[in-house]
Structure 1
Amino acid sequence: MGARVKTSTTALPGGGRRQWAADRALRPAMRSPGRPQPSRTVQRAFWRLIAEGLSTEKASAGVGVSWPVGFRWFRHAGGMAPMSLDEPTGRYLSFAEREEIALLVAQGEGVRAIARRIGRDPGTISRELRRNAATCSGKQVYRAGVAQWKAQEAAKRPKTAKLVGNDQLRDYVQDRLAGKVRRSDGTAVLGPTPPTWKGLNKPHRQDRRWATAWSPQQISHRLRVDFPDDDSMRVSHEAIYQSLFIQGRGALKRELVTCLRTGRALREPRARSRNEAQGHVTSDVALSQRPAEAADRAVPGHWEGDLIIGTGRSAIGTLVERSSRCTLLVHLPRLEGWGEVPPVKNGPSLGGYGAVAMNAALTASISRLPEQLRQTLTWDRGKELSGHALLTLATGTRVFFADPHSPWQRPSNENTNGLLRQYFPKGTDLSRWSAEDLEAVALAVNGRPRKVLGWKTPAEVFEEQLRSLHQSGVATTD
């Protein structure tokens, strides 16, 4: 008989060599952590400070980590907390308890003595020392940092994201988010060529990608309309955001954040600029004189309007119907002589949105509507509509002006202008787009489902209004 090799168990608490081997056999292979990350308690505290509005640098200092670590956490998670901010239950050992265990082990205390000191069951301490001790040196040495890392890795329950496992759902989400803008005949409009995405927010004063650009909330709720009997075609808007912002979370590429209206690469608050109101308005066309039926949105035919301004005194007129939220884009081309004739003080505006040109363009757009759907128009106090009396004579649409510094009195139009900035960013030349291009963008915006409309699209609601007017007109004729 061969000589037996005696195995020393002095390095194992309680001499549990057999149980240790069994634990290692059941445990999946773990990568080397290098320097173990701070505990989830620290990370959870970091994200709580971020949720309170602190900057990344201040939140990092508040939890005792360097600011490069905090910035890396923030950017890797896309500005979204990758974990629940609720404290874990007392069932699990905390990092503070593991530090206490490490100190007591170093002092030579036994398992039961440690259990009494921290108020835990001896079996809990025994399993902790056996499973989460460091073993790189060939011996079991209990260190709190390594034990916390091993516990966090073992607690992970990787789950395939729904957008990864369902191809039909992923294609639906991606098409509504990043699909091509199309004209009424179905042909695609390529739009401008945007700069290469570098992981940053939307480019400042540069072109952005044109896309159908439904919001994640619109996509999530529209799935119930398009697939009422298919429960597999369901995904929350938060899951879509996580797929976009958190690296490695889902099937959507990070660069698709450029298709979101905000274009932010990180989910964080942003400052909003407010335009200064200008112009003079007489009392008879003030907002207080607008009919009461226009305020409650019950009757269609009341519109809100404004301009979105680009470089070189270029502009696009926007009209939004208050009831259906249907959008019309008004083409404002350059006038003859632009760029050739030197500007003259108090002379005609050749940029395309002077009073005369504005009246002509608005008259052409509004005149295409049925008479019942052009009751009133609420405008900002810009001087471009100083000739509103001629517009009223030509179209029958009564014009009213919002109060100074009160953009909330035209809420639908302000919201729509924000949506349109995805296609027409500030600092770009808006005169290069034709009337057909503007119509294609209007079709894309009117084709997005809206929460306020019960997840119907503005185009669908506007079509219902037209049918209602047609039926009432036929009944009257009979």
Structure 2
Amino acid sequence: MLAEERALYLALVQQGFSNRQACAVVGVNERTGREWRYGRPVGRKKGPRLPAHEAGVVASSDRCARAIEAGGSSRYLGEEERIRIADRLREKASVRAIAAELGRSPSTISREIRRNSHPESAAYRPHAAHARAKARRPRPKPGKIGQNQQLREIVQHWLTLRWSPEQISRKLRLRFPDRPEMHVTHETIYQALYVQGRGELRRELTRALRTGRALRRPRRAPDQRAPRFAAPMVMISERPPEAADRAVPGHWEGDLIIGKDQGSAIGTLVERATRYVMLVHLPGNREAVTVRDALIETMRELPAHLKRSLTWDQGAEMGLHHQFSLAAEIPVYFCDPHSPWQRGSNENTNGLLRQYFPKGTDLSVHNREHLHAVAAELNGRPRKTLGWDTPAERLAMLLSTTN
């Protein structure tokens, strides 16, 4: 009974209307619109769940245009707004002034003038501009590869030679530099292969891709990312506030400095209050087991009141952080992704250590004794941030006060 309303609703959704906006234009309940769009939930008495793309109903673009002109969505510029734009352009008004009068973004007005002006005279004529906008609005749009037979044959031929879509895209621009109709991006080629219903490229050509997949694997949404480690991380936002002001000693920052070809590493530990440095010997590799054992051995030398917390980035070398935390009796907190300033003391110390361990060198040649000597030299260097005391002096002062 609602076939026409359903057709109009689906067409409006394809044009970018939200469920609420489309339902308001058609005059149905929002729940009905959700059922039309996503299908009925399993278990409802009205019948099995039917996806929207199987409805088999297509509305005409004229009905959609009439609904939009009736005041459906403020997302699109109306014909009256375009007339106002043309009038103000003749009065030499600025784009920002026009946007303020219409309650639109300046970029919306600028894009409207650029896209819908006359292609030859560059004059903005409101009724012609409105017609151009309406002609571009219907969805889905035909693909570029499907409309150009020569382009389709060339792309298919190069795919059979096992060229990647990016190689094809770049080669087309070199082969046809003056023919924009022969230029496509690699994403356009992927869409022509994977999107159902388009039929622009033969589906069996997916076997020639590197992955050989017949279906595209969607990326996870940011809120659906897999956990970084098997054991849950405790983030830096939960670290005790006393660690931030550096008033209480015993809060450490840690990281690795990497050697040539990612083949060797040295662990670095910096105490936040005193800037005292300890270097961790990592023989052979920097796997999670190796880092765990080396950190346990290094932190074992510290008294209990100097083991309050350890802050690290989310590197894979800390995959066994829960085992280290239990064995060394020190909680581990993790920085946010791409936030090195949350371990500022450690990053600064790593820069100082590059005087001793330059980038691009093999760090596995340095034995444990040499690392201790470098740490001792760095801890004996006066620091401006400590009032020209050395980290070793500050640490010794803390230990004597505690004793």
What TM-score, normalized to structure 1?
A: 0.36
Structure with larger RCO (C-alpha < 8 A, sep 6+): 1
Going by fraction, where is helix more abundant, 1 or 2?
2
* TM-score (norm. length: structure 2): 0.43
